[in-house]
Amino acid sequence: MGKAAMKKAPIGKGTDFDATFAALKNILAPYAARNMRVAQDKPDYYYIETNFSVMGRGPVMFGAIRKGKGYVSYHLMPIYMNEPLQKTISPELKRRKQGKACFNFAKPDETLLAELAELTRLGFECFRKLG
């Protein structure tokens, strides 16, 4: 096998990252129609923000997805602002957590994505009550 055949695909360019981005966007995108606004919609970055004021701060980021070099990140701001919601995160999903509101994935995981979908739903309800 020649050197060209042995060359690895660049990190982040494989179908796992594309599938992960698509799966995460499927979780977040429906909220854009629920009193939110799509601020960015690119192949490697998706961002929605509220159309309403949260805690008197005006519109704020609700969530975002970004393809990075080593993972796809899912940002969910309601988690940052809600310590009780943070405490409901399973140990498995917590291992993917970076900071207070970001989760990193290299490939889709149905169980963790289902939990993230529920956290997103609960986060939306939290924002709605605050708004």
CATH of the domain at 82: 3.90.1150
The Cα–Cα gap between 62 and 48 comes to: 6
The Cα–Cα gap between 97 and 93 comes to: 7
Q: What is the mean pLDDT of the chain?
A: 86
Domain that holds residue 35: 12-130
Do β-strands 97-98 and 45-50 pair in parallel, antiparallel, or remain unpaired?
A: unpaired
Q: Is 123 part of any domain?
A: yes
For 20-61, write each residue's pLDDT tens digit.
999 999 999 999 988 899 999 999 999 999 887 766 777 889
Q: Is 39 part of any domain?
A: yes
Q: Is 85 part of any domain?
A: yes
The Cα–Cα gap between 40 and 65 comes to: 10
- pLDDT for residue 118: 97
- Alpha carbon of residue 4 to chain centroid: 35
Q: Is 16 part of any domain?
A: yes
Contact 62, 80 (CB under 8 A): no
DSSP 8-state class, residue 51: S
Question: How many structural domains does the chain have?
Answer: 1
Q: Is 45 part of any domain?
A: yes
Q: Is 69 part of any domain?
A: yes
Q: Is 6 part of any domain?
A: no
